[in-house]
Amino acid sequence: MPATRRQDPDQEATPPEPGTLLVEDDTLRAGFTQIPNRVLRASNLSRDAKILYTFLLSYAWQQGRCFPGYTPGSFSSPARGGG
């Protein structure tokens, strides 16, 4: 998915390339994570397990994998400057 930037209002608008996704919402521009419906609806997984899975996915998409570990204070939200 190509990254896009908001056009400067002083610049002449040029049409985006075909297939370009324009993200105009600042919240979405910071990134988002999708969770498979099968995981979301799995009755054998706890709420916390689903949240942890989604949190790990938010890291894994960057390089196609992640290696979770734990050290005190290591978990921080990407929105707060971590990961």
Kindly give the confidence (pLDDT) of every residue in the chain, 83 residues in length, as a single tens digit, with 9 standing for 90 and above: 444 455 555 556 788 888 887 778 888 777 888 899 999 999 999 999 999 999 888 888 777 788 777 665 555 555 545 44
pLDDT at 17: 85
Distances (CA, A) of 63 to 49, 56, 58, 59: 22, 12, 11, 8
Q: Residue 47 and residue 14: Cα distance in Å, rounded?
A: 45
Assessment of whether the complete model's pTM goes beyond 0.85 = no
pLDDT at 4: 46
pLDDT at 83: 46
Q: Residue 19 and residue 70: Cα distance in Å, rounded?
A: 39
Domain spans in the chain, listed from the N-terminal domain onward? 29-80
